[in-house]
Structure 1
């Protein structure tokens, strides 16, 4: 089974890169516990673009597996499985697009993965064997150095010929220095025991002063040089490199023999002071890194909480899901700009974020799957309505059939959307059948023309009445009169088609003039104008009027839903700003202003829809 940290976020609009495995900030080591550490640059692994490139790099590492670094191996593993997951997602997506089901999808066997696992296993075996041999060698070195200490004890406790003892001592020193690594847990105690007997040899054994003084002098020169080198490290820009160099200087300082007794404390104090400064800078460097990593963890935690608290119950439309998807993608892009968290939490916080994103896109997929199923049901319902209308289109029972078709048209509006592929064809089929019937009806009911002429005279009278309103009339009274005229205008039926635009223009120019004078609310004016427009549109007859009304209503409903989603987005953004930032008051004010404007437009749009519904009932 693939390890979870090897997978990638299954995003639709772009993948979120896998977190790199970063070395945890280590504690600063004192001058008494030098330890070799190596930093590995994992950027090469993350820049590889194909599985073959990853495998080629692994083959290079396998040739020298003993010196391979775990960080680079981890990074190569993550890169390989990120590419692997991307390919699997693409194959699955194509499978589903070709008509397959998610349950039936079976990933293709990947030969690259088999080769990858084989090479990784080989590297692991080589490294295990090497480490076992290294530990064995360290233990042997420990025993050898313990033997040297025992020989030093004999030289100190049972001195014989001074010259011979001195030569034996120098040989033991050289042998000691040639032996390198021992188990880390034994380093300090071993060195302290060794140093005790080295100093005893110089202090207790009464060797030739000339030999002793010469050794003391040479050792002092070496240690003075080491002090200078340590002091220069205080100005080294790369504090990590300075710290590692200091460990090597400490080892050399230890391996160097003693100096004259009266100078020992002084030379050690100088070296220790230089070491303290390097260690202090190293400690500050890693403390700063820890603080930065903790800040990064806090930021990433906030992002996780935002995704995890998504209100899925409110995402019930295409626009709502699309808006939320863009918000999630923005958070993913923000995530990429944030640095690493502490190593013990870095993978965990990434897995938490990925799980939240997986959950979001899983639910999005479920929603669209259910919508698709619902669209198929809607399509079948609309097909059934088409069949009913087509069966009635040749009817000559004008009144009864008109009522039935009107009901079917209303029923059509209650059915949800269908796939875009079928939306226009099924609508055209439905409306063509309706239009055919109403065309035949209009031809058979041309006597309505006389009624339209009568309506024209009524509207002309209303225009005249509107034009003769006395400007000295009190504002409220005049406003009420204008509204009564408008209301009466809307109750008057259709006029001859050729005259409708002219009358409409005359009437509304006078209405606008009166409203401008009376300073009537702009929204009310728009609504009144819209009522007049709708009244004018219905003058086109059953065919053109109803068709135009339905299209206008669908356009308003779409606008209404879009404004609701836009208001929701703004309100979500306002909530985000208030919870994560104390700044940007001007931006918050502007967003509030936009929300209020949208709410006013939303109310006006709802009123317009009501006007259309009332007109359709008449």
Structure 2
């Protein structure tokens, strides 16, 4: 019995030493994982080449993966890393979109005063998804901290129960039933301890040391369970050997793949399982631990080698960005009195910014952070100086306000006369042209001054329209006549037997004899008329396709001559015909040139005949196109 107790004491001492080693390694592993997280390199993906829709899809996939897997740490960190890499790309997209909108605004208004910009839906969606992913990550780690605090209370309570169990063992006389009850309570405490999750690292070693000390006291006081303890240790040895094999397999897998964050996470999870297993037999305990540690060292040696390569890349990236920074330093003292020169200088500095953003990858932490601050501070200084220049232009807006007030007064004076003759109408039109030529006014007067001028002009033209009501009624009557005529043309087109060129000419003459229609109906009635004529021409059976096209074209030309508004279509047709004619002329020249190189033979004679046939066909088509072009040119 004394010998068994001595063996138990030796086993306990070995377990204490092993547990301290495990606790030490856990701290080292956590430190290395934290350092790796801090230096985590950018995934080898060029996000700047992706469109906004692709970036939205990428973030949606990352968010779906995180939600689908229950917010695993590896997936959360991967998603957050993607968000971090997309951030500068998104900033560049925002800057580019805003610059493009600003350029368009300046082109329309002369300067950027009054410019407002709202990012499109895709850009806002990228921002929203990024915030949601960060929120999930923060929530996950906050919940982990709360869970650790809860686990600390649970484990503290379990230690108190274990102490109470030991005190009861020492103060009462146990029998078989009592031993069984005590053992069941002890195993229950063990199971609950294993089920409790991690706690904050400052308390972890103390709790584990206390727990193991109480466990040792329990087994020392209950030698009857020594055999059960040895069985449990042998089982633990088998489980630890299996965990060693898993880590060793991860090391072997590096022959076919690169070291990654996922591999380290998996190894860390296996380490957690190893740590929570009870002790193995003392003759196997240290061997198993050394085997497990060697397998872990393989992984971390591979990681350190990979870090060395990353540091080299980080230094190269730092040197390239430092060169860009040196080139933008002179911009911080730039000054000019010309908007054009400021805009040209802005393009230059934006090109350097594009180069900076295009250099992907991380830099050494402290040096890179300092360089980034200086780079963006230089950009900010340049744009602050530019902003100061444009603020000095604000005085010009006050002058523009005085000019526009005078234009409002002139328009109101014409309105008060009550006379809407041609001279006054021309004066109002001239005032409107002058208004467009005056630049921006101070923002707070922008709407009120415009509303005042518009009110005066609208009142004048409304007064003029009221006197032209009879003319409008006549236009409405003409619209009814043209609509009736179109319906008759459509009806005649459906009755193909009645279709003829004579009747087509009659329709055209009748259309030309009808006067103007309301302006709002002009385009729609002309489109319907052309469509009806096209349908009618198609129904004339005795005409060839070429003749039908000719008839339709002549109808459109006549419509333009009569004051229609379809000249834009004719311009498009003219462009298409010129393009086709040019292509035919190029083909004819090429074919004629090729004929000269044919040798005298039966084969070449056949080829020559084929090319001559193509040339004759093309010449005929070219003649038709030139005829169509002459018809269109007469109208436009």
Give the shorter-chain TM-score range.
0.3 to 0.5
More helix by share: 2
TM-score (norm 1): 0.44
Relative CO higher for 1 or 2, CA cutoff 8 Å, sep ≥ 6? 1
